Amino acid sequence: MQSYGISQGKLAAAMGIGASNVYRWANEIRDPGSETVMKILEALENLNPDAATEFRQLYMNPDSETGTESD
Position 71 in a domain: no
- pLDDT digits over 56-69, tens only? 998 877 665 544 44
Per the structure, the count of domains in the chain is 1
The pTM score is 0.79
Confidence of residue 70 (pLDDT cuts 50, 70, 90): very low
**What pLDDT score was predicted for residue 5?**
92
**What pLDDT score was predicted for residue 29?**
95
| Closest listed residue to residue 41, CA positions, set 61, 55, 21, 28 | 55
- pLDDT digits over 4-56, tens only? 999 999 999 999 999 999 999 999 999 999 999 999 999 999 999 999 999 99
Quote the domain boundaries for residue 53: 2-62
Position 68 in a domain: no
